[in-house]
Amino acid sequence: MSCPPIPDESLGFLLTDATRAIRRRFEQRATELGLSSAQWRVLVHLLRRGPLSQARLAEFLEIEPISVSRLVDRMQEAGWVEREPDPNDRRVKRVVAKCKAHAAFENARQIADDLYEQALAGLPPGALETLTDALRRIIINLSDSPEAQNDR
Partner DNA sequence: TTGATTTAGTAAGCAGGCTTATAATATCTC
Partner DNA sequence: GAGATATTATAAGCCTGCTTACTAAATCAA
* Sites of contact with DNA (CB under 7 A): 20, 24, 36-39, 41, 53-55, 61-74, 83, 86, 89-94
Query: What SS3 class is residue 103?
Result: helix
**C-alpha atoms less than 13 angstroms from C-alpha of 31 in its C-beta half-sphere:** 4
Which of its own copies, DNA, none does residue 64 bind (CB under 5 to 8 Å by kind)?
Answer: DNA
SS3 95: strand
Q: How far is the CB of 90 from its own copies (least distance, A)?
A: 29
CB closer to its own copies out of 31 and 130: 130
Least separation in angstroms between CB 53 and DNA = 4
Q: Which residues pair with 83 in a beta bridge?
A: 95
Cα dihedral 117→121→125→127 (10° resolution) = -80
CB of 61 to DNA, least distance (A): 7
